[in-house]
Amino acid sequence: MPEASILVRDLSKTYDKGSVLAVDKVSFEVKPGELFGLIGADGAGKSTIFRILTTVLLADSGTAHMAGFDVVRDYRKIRNLVGYMPGKFSLYQDLTVRENLEFFATVFGTTIDANMDLIKDIYDQIKPFSGRRAGKLSGGMKQKLALCCALIHKPAVLLLDEPTTGVDVVSRKEFWEMLKKLKAQGITIIVSTPYMDEAKLCERIALIQNGRIMSVDTPVNIIKSYPGKLFAAKSNDIYKLLKDFRAHPEIESCYAFGDYIHITLKDPSSSGLEVLNRIAMENNHSNVQIKEIKPGIEDSFILLMSQQKDLVQLTTTK
Amino acid sequence: MAMEEKVIVCKELTKRFGDFYAVDKISFDVSKGEIFGFLGANGAGKTTAMRILCGLSYPSSGDALVAGFSVRNQQESIKKNIGYMSQRFSLYENLSILENIEFFGGVYGVSRKEIKDRSYKLVGELGLQKEAKKMVGSLPLGWKQKLAFSVSIFHHPKIVFLDEPTGGVDPVTRRQFWDMIYDASASGITIFVTTHYMDEAEYCNRISVMVDGKMEALDTPGNLKTKYGSDSMEDVFYKLARAAKRTGD
């Protein structure tokens, strides 16, 4: 299988006659055989980037290359090279599992059998339903069929737009196991997700918000570059604790995070534990637990979003 | 502690399609003002159960009292006393914010005067004054969801059903959304919520986990973690849902 890189430079795209800026000068690079994640919420611009890369949408400006081919000039070559699983289920609902696979194989001038080695692990799971119409499959099965169809022509690049959205924790884990195996075959993969916990499963990630890339790096490096200290706290009344911290002038940011609250302080030189314990005591909290913790990708994302706040205002209050 | 008022009393609720038990004798109570997390894998029966509790589908057997009304024969009374929002259906994209409030307020029987008085206040609280007359479709998803939640409780329902309200929403807006849930809960509205974000499961007072149509677990997040020897709700969920036999929606 050819190894393919992706190169995106200053890509911009607007909708509605320029009134909605969906993608704003986005640049990133994906190495051959890399598992690359676009991490961001709905509306961040992820799907627009995917559509431009798969040559089904033209950018307003900027360039993108897939395996050396230009997405505008060489779109025919790219379409043969790329497997694409859109966020919305886009197979033929009235065709059976087998017919969908056969259709996509034929369109790409190949057969199911010729590519069975690549899809076998996934196909085996839907094989018992091969005579069932795609529209009658469960969500998890649809997702597996869509992945099979995207792989049927041995693509060098696989683009997966939010494959795990609305999928439960168990199925999400299984899906990422499948991706790891595909990566081992040398396929370059870009996957988008709104789930921050999936970021750490990618080799490198781009954190994207409001059409802009806030950071591109390995998950480890993004976490390493988190400035200052992060604290976690809880007490008997965690919601009141959140409000008390938030109202205090020494606190920079404070937000709920699972069974804890995460907090950063305005003065990085202050002894965080002392300050936080004092505030909790002043507000009569009991069973207070406060500790310094290592940030995660979601903490980094929240921080980067707050730094982008002025820009957020600009883009949302048109 | 005084007897807590129960707003949902569910007794052996069952929904059968042929020989398939989508919901299999589930029983539980939800108290007034409680934030009740309703979790389960895809296909576990959550949506079916929720449709019955909202008065949109009849049970095959068993019963549930929602806001004091039976899902068997008082569906219309249930609908008047609940609010509902989901990621998929929330508001009319081609109506403005104010028009949506007016429409849904009207549907739920809020008086014209009250709608007028309170809709501006609501728009102000949400910080959407400038957007009040804009089409909802032009708003970012996070704002839409916050607005949809406000609209779903505009008529002061006893219970609000939230079906994956924060799916795909950014991490900051997701938290603002939960602030609104806490405020609604503090004002006495019962919150019945489904989510795939396990950190959000921690924000609930109690969590139930459905597996293959049955309610396999029901307790506070803390007690569930102790019981299953887990340090996170994600692990608790994984341990329970992994045992599921059936897959899909």
**pTM (predicted TM-score):** 0.87
Q: With cut-offs at 50, 70 and 90, classify the pLDDT of residue A1.
A: low
User: In this predicted model, what pLDDT tens digit does every residue of A3-59 receive, in sequence order?
Assistant: 689 999 999 999 988 888 999 999 999 999 999 999 999 889 999 999 999 999 999
Q: What is the SS3 assignment for A206?
A: strand
Alpha carbons within 13 A on the beta-carbon side of B213? 15
User: In this predicted model, what pLDDT tens digit does every residue of B174-231 receive, in sequence order?
Assistant: 999 999 999 999 999 999 999 988 889 999 999 999 999 999 999 999 999 999 999 9
Pairing state between β A35-39 and A188-193: parallel
Q: Tell which of B20, B90, B126, B196 to mutate to test the A interface (max A CBs under 10 Å).
A: B196
Tell me the C-alpha distance between B97 and B101, whole Å. 6
Closest residue in A to B40 (Cα) is A168
Please state which CATH class domain A6-223 belongs to. alpha beta
ipTM confidence score: 0.84
Q: What angle do CA A236, A240, A243 make, to 5 degrees?
A: 145
Q: List Cα–Cα distances, A124 to A98, A114, A129, A153, B89, in angstroms.
A: 12, 16, 10, 18, 35
For residue B219, the 8-state DSSP code is E
Q: List Cα–Cα distances, A305 to A250, A300, B120, B178, B194, in angstroms.
A: 21, 8, 29, 18, 26
Q: What is the SS3 assignment for B115?
A: helix
Within 8 A of A141 by CB-CB distance, chain B residues are: 247-248
Chain B within 8 Å of A162 (Cβ-Cβ)?
Answer: yes
Of A111, A77, A85, A72, the residue nearest A2 (C-alpha): A77
> How far is CA A30 from its chain centroid?
14
Mean pLDDT (whole number) for A294-311: 86
What is the number of CB-based contacts under 8 A between chain A and chain B? 102
Q: List Cα–Cα distances, A252 to A47, A222, A228, A249, A266, in angstroms.
A: 33, 20, 11, 8, 5
Closest residue in A to B170 (Cα) is A41
Query: What is the Cα Rg of chain A in Å?
Result: 23
Judge residue B95's burial from the number of C-beta atoms within 10 Å of its C-beta, 0-12 exposed, 13-18 middle, 19 or more buried: middle
User: In this predicted model, what pLDDT tens digit does every residue of B148-177 receive, in sequence order?
Assistant: 999 999 999 999 999 999 988 889 999 999
Confidence (pLDDT) at A165: 84
Phi-psi region of A55 (alpha: psi -120 to 50; beta: other; left: phi over 0): left
**AA identity, residue A287:** N
Residues 8-37 of B with CB under 8 A from A: none
Asked if A238 contacts A286 with a C-beta cutoff of 8 angstroms, the reply is no
**AA identity, residue A280:** A
The CATH T-level fold of domain A227-294 is Alpha-Beta Plaits (3.30.70)
What ranges do the domains of chain A cover?
Answer: 6-223, 227-294
Of A24, A59, A61, the residue nearest A209 (C-alpha): A24
B170:A305 CB<8 A: yes
Domains of chain B: 6-48+62-241 (3.40.50.300)
Beta bridge partners of A133: A96
